[in-house]
Amino acid sequence: MPDVALLALIVVAMLAGYLLGRRDLRKKNESRSSGQPLSKEYFVGLNYLLNEQTDEAIETFIKALDLNNDTVDTYLALGSLFARRGEVEKSIRVHQDLLARPSLTASQSLRVQLELAKDFMQAGLLDRAEAMLSEMVRNHHEYRSEALQQLLKIYEQEREWSKAVAIGEELRKSGGDQYAVDLAHFYCEGAQICIDRNDRVSARKAIRQAFTRDRNCVRASLLLARMEFDDARYRDCIKALEKVALQKSRYVPLTLDLLEQAYNRLGNVRGFTAYLGRCLNERPGAAVILAMTRVLASDRGDEQALKFLTDQLRKHPSLKGLNALMNLQLRNPAVGSLESIRLLKEMTDKMLELKPVYQCSSCGFSGKEMHWMCPGCHSWGAIAPVQGIEGE
């Protein structure tokens, strides 16, 4: 709906609220024969609206209409309209004007404060929003849950993970099981910070806490595996990485490079091959097929690798697989086919260069880097390797 049309509806609602308020006033004061007439400013504002001078119309209506129980919601709707249009300064002005009215009830005041805090967040005034929301959490039960949710968004944006954990745990205790996955990621963020400063004891503790909130947290398994590998605990590294296939198999591609290194450090190439074979039987994908192709090329030669890859591509076609097939053929070209293979490879190289590697299952955001929190919709754990012929 166009903003002008929506604004017109809001103004109609303002007028209805105004008239309802006057009607209630007449009922309470029977000595008055009629309510006060609409002010001159109201008709001036209506004229602005008809001429599509929306800013002037809004300013005039705010000044013209009294605040009562029937118009508070309309004022809030007006503020929301500004916020959606990106005119956050106007939304702030509407909400601050509301808060200045002494006729607001305590409940209405809290609701307006919550909306004003959202305005501050949208404007990037996070300190002001945090102060307002924190005061609401400390001193008021009503709207407390909503205030906590907004605080959580602030701490995510500011990457204050210890505060995010505290808020997330409080929300979870009050029945917010949906925060379990987010909490696991907060603990993982803390674990990564501990790893970066070489505090491995605290890092392991944070990883354990992540698993208590989400036992299928792939990120925690990957962090643990890297720590085990760096500590030369290769069997434990393998255990953590192979667990990912049971947690969320779509993330197996993220495990294969380190898993191969861990098996190689143990001198157990066959163990890695056996694991790849299990993955091929249960959930074949481009990354697993290409890993097996590399192992076969190293162990049995390009001819066996080429045969395996050709068979797999017939069953599970992918651009990555086709590109790998051409690499093998370029190393062992058939007579007369070298130039055509080279041309095909150049084409697939360009196609793969333009294609995203990861995609968010929630909003569709895609890119070439793995993000545990989607930059588009801010969902945790929604991004994974692209599936299908153009991905895995």
What does the buried/exposed string (b/e) look like for 157-174 if buried means 16 or more CB atoms within 10 Å of the residue's CB?
A: eeebbebbbbbbbbbbee
Report the alpha-carbon distance of residue 96 to residue 112 in Å, rounded: 8
- Record the tokens describing residue 248, joined without a space: 């969320």
Query: Residue 380 in 3-state DSSP?
Result: strand
Position of tokens 């910070």?
Answer: 193
Position of tokens 């809290």?
Answer: 110
Position of tokens 């490879």?
Answer: 345
363 labeled part of a ligand binding site: yes
CB neighbourhood size of 13 (10 A): 17
Q: How far is CA 318 from CA 77, 377, 382, 391, in A?
A: 50, 28, 23, 7
377 labeled part of a ligand binding site: yes
- Record the tokens describing residue 377, joined without a space: 């919709």
Residues 6+ apart with CB under 8 A from 206: 187, 188, 190, 191, 194
237 labeled part of a ligand binding site: no
Query: Residue 360 in 3-state DSSP?
Result: strand
- Record the tokens describing residue 25, joined without a space: 């006033």
DSSP string, 30-97: TT-SSPPPPPHHHHHHHHHHHTT-HHHHHHHHHHHSPP-TTTHHHHHHHHHHHHHTT-HHHHHHHHHH
- Phi and psi, residue 275, nearest 5°: -65, -45
360 labeled part of a ligand binding site: yes
Known binding site for Fe cation: residues?
A: 360, 363, 374, 377
Known binding site: residues?
A: 360, 363, 374, 377
